[in-house]
Amino acid sequence: MQKNINIRDFEMEKDFDWIFLLDSYVNATRSRKEVQEEIQNYSGDIYVATINKKVIGFISLSYPFWDKVAMIDYLAVEENYRKQGIGRLLIHHVLKRAQELSMRYVCVQTGLWNLGAINFYKRVGFSLRGVFPEYEGEGNGMIWLDIDIRKNSEASKQKL
């Protein structure tokens, strides 16, 4: 694990360029202006992971997504910093935030093709809840995972 990793609130002026570059899915499908507008209108929390003030990852959490359920909308870590515990730190941060907000579940969805993300979420305590094979069209399915933070809070802290 890298040393000197800091998790802090996202700041538009300071962090937008980094986030736009980090998330290849976002910047490949939408313009800079569209992404800026989405962030400005986002009603949840966005956190960044930094090393020496450089943004190397981010995560967003919307709540309540439904009743006592929070949703991780985005999670990205710069490729050179993957498999170093940064994603785990970001997940731990939003699970803690969800507990503070008295949420019961935190959920996430990802593409069926994204086995790396699916396995990552399972390793940090998320469980499979549903598969939607044609969610975004033919051959473009989605998987839904969640974690009951009331039941798994201690286990999650140990894993993270």
Q: What is the pLDDT of residues 3-51, one digit of tens each?
A: 789 999 999 999 998 888 887 655 677 888 888 898 999 989 999 999 9
The phi, psi pair for 19, rounded to 5°, reads: -65, -40
Model-level pTM?
Answer: 0.87
Which CATH number goes with the domain that contains 26?
3.40.630.30
The per-residue pLDDT of the chain, averaged, comes to: 88
Per the structure, the count of domains in the chain is: 1
The phi, psi pair for 130, rounded to 5°, reads: -170, 150
Determine contact, residues 91/98, Cβ cutoff 8 Å: no
* Cβ neighbour number for residue 61 with a 10 Å cutoff: 25
H-state helical runs in the chain = 12-22, 24-29, 32-41, 86-100, 115-123, 149-159
Determine contact, residues 48/81, Cβ cutoff 8 Å: no
Structural domain containing residue 95: 5-159
Please give the pLDDT value at position 158: 42
pLDDT of 147-157, one tens digit each? Answer: 999 876 544 45
- Decide: residue 70, CB within 10 A, 0-12 exposed, 13-18 middle, 19+ buried: buried
| Average confidence (pLDDT) over 83-111 | 95
91/132 Cα distance (integer angstroms): 24
Which candidate, 69, 81, 66, 73, places its Cα nearest to that of 44?
73
